[in-house]
Amino acid sequence: MANHEALDDIFVALADPTRRDVIRRLGRGPTSVGELARPFPITLPSFMKHVRTLEASGLIRTSKSGRVRTCTLNRERLALVDDWLAEQRRAWEAATDRLEQLVTDLEETP
């Protein structure tokens, strides 16, 4: 259940192009909020809402030093999406295997 809630928050966080761009940018390394916000044609308070959504999902961490808040990507959290996708693939493969077995059984039936 905890994992379910984590995935809810993660997918909500990823369902926005600005937030996905932030994730991509942070892949290059920790970055200050000011620098992250620069390319986006929105106000800093609007941008901060995106940062908070990302932080709430656990996808990023932020820390403040003086007046500068720096964001860091939490790759382990993004890996939960990989895990979920892998789980789906395993289910499909199991279904395909069962279907193949069924076809084999039918072919072998005299």
Which residues form the interface with a copy of itself (CB under 8 A)? 4, 7-8, 11-12, 14-17, 20, 23-24, 27-29, 75, 78, 81-82, 84-85, 87-88, 91-92, 94-95, 99
| Nearest distance in Å: CB 107, a copy of itself | 20
Strand pairing category for 31-32 and 60-65: unpaired
Please, which residue, 7 or 48, has the CB nearer to a copy of itself?
7
Q: What is the largest CA-CA distance in the chain?
A: 80
Please, which residue, 42 or 91, has the CB nearer to a copy of itself?
91
Q: What are 64's strand-pairing partners?
A: 69
CA–CA separation, 59 and 50 (whole Å): 12
Please, which residue, 44 or 95, has the CB nearer to a copy of itself?
95
CA–CA separation, 49 and 56 (whole Å): 10
| Nearest distance in Å: CB 37, a copy of itself | 19
Residue 38 burial by CB count (10 A; 0-12/13-18/19+): exposed, middle or buried?
exposed
Please, which residue, 42 or 85, has the CB nearer to a copy of itself?
85
| Nearest distance in Å: CB 99, a copy of itself | 8
